[in-house]
Amino acid sequence: MIKFTVVFLTLLYSASQLSAQDRPNTDTVKTDSAEVFYPVEVQPSFPGGFPALYKFVSKGVTEANVSGPGRVFLTFIVQKDGSLTDIKVAKSLSEDADKAAIKIMAASPKWEPGISRGKPCRVQYTLPITFK
């Protein structure tokens, strides 16, 4: 269980970070007439941190009862108020797993928003969800 937790958190962190070559030259990208920040001073966070996020996602995966091992990668925007929007599948596992992963994150409580230039901002986030 500890090994799984460490692997999950490592993947979570690495998936949420963009490599330097993938980042645009500017610090914002316009989408739907709103700025989404990439390099931010403070990353958005789930209430209670990674342990609470892991517990929340694990409970959702268990309740989903999706067969087959694998991982779904989701992308979403953490808004200035902490709500999650634009939840999309970045890497699919199966239709059932994709729907379950989206349903899990759609039920998420509000996050602590990202901070850029001292103010809350919209931040794109990538999250892997592992099914066993």
Provide mean pLDDT across the span 26-52: 77
For residue 52, give the H/E element and its range.
Answer: helix 49-64
- Choose among 53, 28, 31, 1: nearest CA to 116: 28
Give CA–CA dist 9/106, Å, rounded. 20
Residue 85 reports pLDDT greater than 70: yes
pTM (two decimals): 0.73
C-alpha separations of 114 from 40, 63, 122 in Å: 7, 29, 7
Q: Which CATH number do you get for residue 66?
A: 3.30.1150
Q: How far is CA 51 from CA 1, 6, 58, 107, in A?
A: 13, 11, 10, 17
Query: Cα dist. 33→28, 30, 75, 92 in Å?
Result: 12, 6, 19, 28
Confidence grade of residue 122 (pLDDT, cut at 50, 70, 90): very high
pLDDT(23) > 50: no
The residue range of the domain holding 126 is 2-131
The count of structural domains within the chain is 1
